[in-house]
Amino acid sequence: MPKELSNRQRQEKLWMSSGAPEVSSFVEAVEGLFTDSGLGDALSSNTTGFSKTAESRLCELEKELAKVPTQGGPMKIINDPAMLQVRKLAAEILPLVENELK
């Protein structure tokens, strides 16, 4: 999911999709990363297994995601200025997490 949150073109493709084979939304991306995976709870209890650096960046990302308004449709979300920081942080987190999962 950080991949989806880091890439504007991927967001446009998935969040603006009219259906199969690939479709997603901002809310689905956030829930998939923090809720469905249990990462949000693991961050709260410092039990992610990731380095302190990765955990810190993930907490930052979670805070930035909370600043993104979810009304107005996918293009409004994609274009929201808060998404610039979300994409930047998600892009920085990807290699950290990927290296630690190896």
**36-85 tens-digit pLDDT:** 999 999 999 999 999 999 999 999 999 999 999 999 999 999 999 999 99
Mean pLDDT over the full length of the chain: 94
Work out how many domains the chain is built from and give that number: 1
CB atoms within 10 A of CB 83: 21
Specify the pLDDT at position 22. Answer: 84
Q: What residues contact residue 76 under an 8 Å CB cut-off, 6+ apart?
A: 69
Euclidean distance between CA atoms 102 and 59, whole angstroms:
21
Domain residue limits at 95: 2-101
